[in-house]
A = this chain, B = another copy of it.
Amino acid sequence: MTDIFWNDELQRWAMDEAPTQSNEYSSSPEGAASTIASKNIVSERNRRKNLNDKLLELRGAVPRISKLDKASTIKDAIDYIQDLQEQERNLQAEIMELESESLKKDPGFDFEEELPILLRSKKSRCDQIYDHRVPMSHPIKVHEVSHSLELD
């Protein structure tokens, strides 16, 4: 029962792995149809594989994982991003505070020359690439979006 299925599957695998190249559009119209169908199948497989790998990568970038399914992976990533953004705001506020504090005690203090060049330049570079001082009220919860993108 499952044998024919298995044979079919293995045949597809072999066909996919080795393009054989003998006869594209093997002279019969049905052959053409099945050929384009096969191409579609392979493309889809690659697309799915790529998506899965990306998701695994994303999971690798997020330290705290709740569950192992796709939805949770994305959810955890969202929460993590939000926490990182909040953390960054806090750290920046803290830096402002420290700088002003230091300035109060020692007016005319130049911070740009104080810190190691590497740190400063790196930070500046990031800020230029994109300015992620996120807007205070962050529109994370998107209830209705322009329905241009829908996912599988």
A12 on the B face (CB < 8 A): no
When C-beta atoms are compared, the residue in chain B nearest to A65 turns out to be: B149
Contact, CB under 8 Å: B80 / A81 = yes
Q: State which of B61, B92, B139 has its C-beta within 8 Å of the C-beta of A81.
A: B61
Query: What bracket does the count of chain A residues touching chain B fall in?
Result: 35 or more
A132 to chain B, nearest CB (A): 6
A31 on the B face (CB < 8 A): no
Provide the bound-state CA to CA distance between A99 and B114, in Å: 12
A24 on the B face (CB < 8 A): no
Provide the bound-state CA to CA distance between A7 and B50, in Å: 35
Extra contacts, 15 of them, besides A61-B140, A63-B132 (Cβ < 8 A), are A48-B151, A51-B71, A51-B152, A54-B78, A56-B142, A58-B77, A60-B140, A61-B81, A63-B134, A73-B151, A83-B126, A83-B129, A83-B132, A84-B132, A90-B122
A residues in contact (CB < 8 Å) with B? 47-48, 50-52, 54-64, 68-71, 73-75, 77-78, 80-88, 90-95, 97-99, 101-102, 105-106, 111, 114-116, 119, 122-123, 126, 129-130, 132, 134, 138-142, 145, 148-152
